[in-house]
Amino acid sequence: MIPAQDVLAPAGPQAAQIHALWQLMLWMCTAVFALVVAAAWIAVLRRRRDVLEPLQGADTPAQSRRVARIIGIAVALSALGLAVLIVASIGTDRALAGLPHDDALHIELTGHQWWWEATYDSVDPSKMFTTANELHIPVGRAVIFTLKADDVIHSLWVPNLHGKKDLVPGRTATHLIRADTPGIYRGQCAEFCGYQHAWMSLLVIADPPDQYAAWEARQRQPAGEPPDAQAVRGRDVFERGTCAICHTVEGTRAQGKHAPDLTHLASRMTIGAVALDNTPANRAAWIVDPQRFKPGVNMPAHNLPAEELGALLHYLETLR
Amino acid sequence: MILDRAIVLFVLVAIGVAGCERERRDFQTPPSGAQATRSLRMTDITPGAPEPTSSARNPLEENAFALAQGKRLFHWYNCNACHGDGGGGSMGPALMDDVWIYGSEPANVFATIVQGRPNGMPSFGGRIPDKELWQLVAYVRSLSGQVEKTTATGRDDSIMVKPGENRMDPQKPVQATPSSASEHP
């Protein structure tokens, strides 16, 4: 079960900083609002009492001084409050940028209409691997995202971990996060990017370091040989049909680069960028008519013969 | 007087409604390629009296979204590697000029992509679904101004090497033989 994204439940230092600033601003602004409303009420009630009294002439010098003092105190309080907010904002910004990241994990995240491509970087090119829409990160270790966009402007937002950052075509941006609590964190494209913007989601799964290492080691492996004849047939359908022209399965001839990498498809929780649970039935429905679930998605409908579809689904199930 | 106004209004509304079709996005109905290519021939010699070759229209040519998708697929499927960015030609023949080796009608272009052609054009049959093929066909024809300027694409995602397809003057297709075409690739 995927928990809802929640900006009020920080799971890492970045989100915690932003959350603390938000709390400060919320309560300070609430207090200011309450004070202003109270002052307004006092003024209203005083005015009503004044009306009953006969009009006096000009203010006495004592009254003028009192008014000046009250205005002075109010201005000073406002300035102090604003200064506190400015200092807190700057402090939060510095804290966000100052997250220690010497041993950071580097992930290049590219936004496409309407899915996320993630390439885990490494100084050793043979250790790099690509996945899509479902990122695993180790708990307690900083992650530096290098953000790119393939077509239009997207925005990365994983509320439990950090604020938003735009992905702009032709430019790169970086985003520094760390998760301190293991869990599944839902993310969402936060910049309108077309028909299926609402279904451009991703999952960030924070694992304990040993679990993450195991996941990473498995992701680095190419797809193995199909275990049985039907899976071989399924791979043939994949390689020789339309799948391979857009999708990649490492270790096979399918090397398309315009759709999610499917090397470890069956190990993911969802398909279609968190549009559907990753069950065999949903995979079948998606292949046959993806437009039913995400109208406008670039994946075309496939009217495959039952035998080919069955073999293909069987093969996809082996991509763990 | 009132009738005149009504006619003007009717024309304006008609133009507006026609304009809507231009941007229409049909996600559910893939066109079938089977009909269009059935009467396609590779030679002018026929038994009996000569018959006109296929002149099936490609409805997607009237749709701006389909043309834009065709342009995207032109890069995705690596057409630009041989035919050049924007159809300027390199290893493969240019697509922005008036010379057509295997016919300029939508059905001809469709068959060329599906079947492949000698001297380097790969066969994409079974690799690209019909609807995407027709989008590509529409875009390829727009490169030499064979579609309406109002629907052709106007910009590139990368640096523009030439004016947009919507600024191409329509080129009158000239049929070249495969051998003569090799002289001007």
A300 touches chain B (CB under 8 A): yes
Do A96 and A164 share a structural domain?
A: yes
Distance between CA atoms of residues B129 and B31, nearest Å: 10
| φ, ψ dihedrals at A143, nearest 5° | -125, 130
Interior angle at CA B45, CA B44 and CA B48, nearest 5: 125
B129 touches chain A (CB under 8 A): yes
pLDDT at A238 over 70: yes
Do A6 and A51 share a structural domain?
A: yes
Mean pLDDT of chain B: 81
Cβ–Cβ gap B76/A241 under 8 Å: no
Cβ neighbours of B30 in A, within 8 Å: 300-301
Residues 6 or more apart in contact with residue A226 via CB below 8 angstroms: A232, A234, A235, A315, A318
Do A117 and A194 share a structural domain?
A: yes
Express each pLDDT in B102-140 by its tens digit: 888 888 899 899 989 888 899 998 889 888 999 999 999
| Band (B12; pLDDT cuts 50, 70, 90) | confident
> Does residue A33 belong to any structural domain of this protein?
yes
Interior angle at CA B33, CA B32 and CA B39, nearest 5: 130
Do A57 and A178 share a structural domain?
A: yes
* CATH number of A268's domain: 2.60.40.420
Q: How many Å lie between the alpha carbon of A86 and the closest alpha carbon of chain B?
A: 40
B111 against B22, higher pLDDT: B111
Do A154 and A80 share a structural domain?
A: yes
* Most confident range, picked from A54-58, A99-103, B28-32: A99-103
B70 touches chain A (CB under 8 A): no
Express each pLDDT in A105-148 by its tens digit: 999 999 999 999 999 999 999 999 999 999 999 999 999 999 99
Q: Which of A174, A207, A240 is the last residue of a domain?
A: A207
Task: Please name the amino acid found at residue A113.
Answer: Q
> Does residue A306 belong to any structural domain of this protein?
yes
Q: End-to-end CA distance of chain B, in Å?
A: 59
Q: How many domains does chain A have?
A: 2
Domain ranges of chain B: 59-185
Q: How many CA atoms lie within 13 A of B159 on its CB side?
A: 1
Distance between CA atoms of residues A141 and A174, nearest Å: 16
Locus of tokens 């924007």: B86
The helix (run of H) or strand (run of E) holding residue A200 is none
| φ, ψ dihedrals at B80, nearest 5° | -65, -20
Do A111 and A4 share a structural domain?
A: yes
Do A155 and A278 share a structural domain?
A: no
Do A196 and A56 share a structural domain?
A: yes
> Does residue A212 belong to any structural domain of this protein?
no
Distance between CA atoms of residues B30 and A206, nearest Å: 41
Do A125 and A88 share a structural domain?
A: yes
Q: How many Å lie between the alpha carbon of A241 and the closest alpha carbon of chain B?
A: 5
Cβ–Cβ gap A291/B27 under 8 Å: yes
Do A236 and A199 share a structural domain?
A: no
Instruction: With CA atoms as reference, report the closest residue to A286 among A302, A306, A310, A305.
Output: A302
> Does residue A275 belong to any structural domain of this protein?
yes
Express each pLDDT in A149-194 by its tens digit: 999 999 999 999 999 999 999 999 999 999 999 999 999 999 999 9
Do A202 and A94 share a structural domain?
A: yes
Interior angle at CA A194, CA A191 and CA A200, nearest 5: 65
**Which three-class secondary structure string do you get for A196-234?**
CHHHCEEEEEEECHHHHHHHHHHHHCCCCCCCCHHHHHH
| Interval A239-255 mean pLDDT | 93
Under 8 Å between Cβ of A133 and A202: yes
Do A245 and A157 share a structural domain?
A: no
Under 8 Å between Cβ of B63 and B148: no
| Interval A262-279 mean pLDDT | 93
The shortest CB-CB distance from B128 to any of A151, A240, A245 is to A245
> Does residue A175 belong to any structural domain of this protein?
yes
Instruction: Classify domain B59-185 at the CATH superfamily level.
Output: Cytochrome c-like domain (1.10.760.10)
Give residue A237's domain range: 229-317
B contact test, residue of A245, A247, A288 with most B CBs within 10 A: A245
